[in-house]
Amino acid sequence: MHVRLVITIAAVAAVSACAGPAPSMAPYSQAGLPAAIQVPAGHMVAMQTMAAGDITWQCRAKADMPGQFEWVFAGPDAGLKDRSGRTVGKYYGPPATWESVDGSRITGKQLAIAPAGSGNIPLQLVQADPAKGMGAMQGVSHVQRVNTRGGVAPAAGCSAASQGEKQVVRYTADYVFWRAAM
C-alpha cells in the first residue's frame, strides 16, 4: 500500500510538471494593445474573465437626422468565467454593470475604444465607479474589454418600418479588471 501511494504522488507530480503553470497564473501584458485602451501605470490586474453572451441592438431614429434610422446599442447580457471555466459573475445593462457572484458590482464610464477587426465590437477601456457591496469588485478602478469576437450591429437594414425592433447578436470577449497597485 505504501508503494502504491508513492507511485500515485509521483504520477500526480509528473502530470503537474508537464501541464505547466495554470493560465490564470501568467502575468497579463498590455504590450500588444492600442495605447488608447491601456490602463495607466500604477495599476495591477485584480481579475481576468472570459465573457460569452448577447448584445441587444434596437432600431431607432437618429437624434440629429430626422427621417434616418440606425441600430443603437441597447445592452449586454453575458456570463463571466475565470480561466478555469468557473462562473465568477455576469455583465448586463444598461447601465453597463459587472457583477461578481459575491454580489459586489461596478458600473463605469467609457474612456476609449479601439478597432478590433471587421465583425467585432471594439476593444474598450472603462473607468469604474466605486463598487457597490464588498467583494471582488471592491477597489476596481478600470475595466478593459479585449479579445472581442462578434457583437456588432445587425447587417439588416434599420428603417421607419422596423423602428423599435430589437435584434440580439452573440459575442465573446475578455474583461480584465484593474485596481491601483498597493
Cβ proximity of 84 and 22 under 8 Å: yes
Torsions phi, psi for 14 (to 5 deg): -65, -45
Q: In the chain, how many domains are there?
A: 1
Average pLDDT over residues 65-89: 95
**pTM above the 0.85 mark?**
no
Q: Which structural domain range is residue 38 located in? A: 28-180
Burial of 126 (0-12, 13-18, 19+ CB in 10 A): buried
* Domain annotation covers residue 11: no
* Domain annotation covers residue 103: yes
* Domain annotation covers residue 9: no
Residue located via cell numbers 493560465: 23
pLDDT at 28: 85
What three-state secondary structure class fits 179? strand
Give residue-wise pLDDT tens across range 83-93: 999 999 999 99
